[in-house]
Amino acid sequence: MGQAKRRAALKDHVSTYNFAAVASAVRRLSVAASSQLGSDCYMLSALAQELLKRDGVFAQLRAGYAGWRCGSGDSDVILHCPTGSIPPQCGVVYHVWLEIVDHIFDVTTFSLPQKARELDLLDGGSTTVDWHPDYLFVPKSTVSSVRDVVQKHAGLYFYERQSQVEHLIFGVAPDLDPEDVDAALTLYQHQDIVVLGPNNINLRGT
């Protein structure tokens, strides 16, 4: 009963929590300063987890396979999962997100255009990204199959936890940089701050 009450209390808290503010903080930090923009899902998810923890929201890091249908064309799909029907994509085949009660919280979907550009450079294709929400906070029951993501309409998403991927990724994942945590916390507490960093400043001054 104690565990059930805690879960019910967390669900009540989650129903009124401002997840957009957390997503905005880590997004602005990534866009301004990430050296791996579009491939920094672990860092952004871990930072979001830390911000949530400070507000009493328990979130679990998950790793595995994911995919997003971001346009209406046949090739307008981004997948982080092994499949023979999609051209090889950059990086290791995995994705990291958060689970909160019965919801998925993915703070990285803002970077789908960047992921598409990297894919197009690899395979010479042209991926249209009409759908790229700043973040996703959705019930797990709304997750589509990878087949539907590949074959149907924009706005569908696929997430599948893989324990072996978690063991591999989380076993070697570095600790968060305290400076990154402090920066994310500041951005979370001050949503009006405009962030300038290496990614949007011309350091050569030309």
* pTM listed for this prediction: 0.88
23 sits in the region (left: phi over 0; alpha: psi -120 to 50; else beta) called alpha
pLDDT one-digit tens code per residue, 23-73: 999 999 999 988 777 789 999 999 999 999 999 999 999 999 999 999 999
Of residues 64 and 119, more confidently modeled:
64
Domain positions in the chain are 2-189
Pick the CATH number of 2-189 from 3.10.550.10, 2.160.10.10, 3.40.30.10, 2.30.42.10: 3.10.550.10
Q: What is the DSSP string of 13-44?
A: HHHH--HHHHHHHHHHHHHHH-TTTTS-HHHH
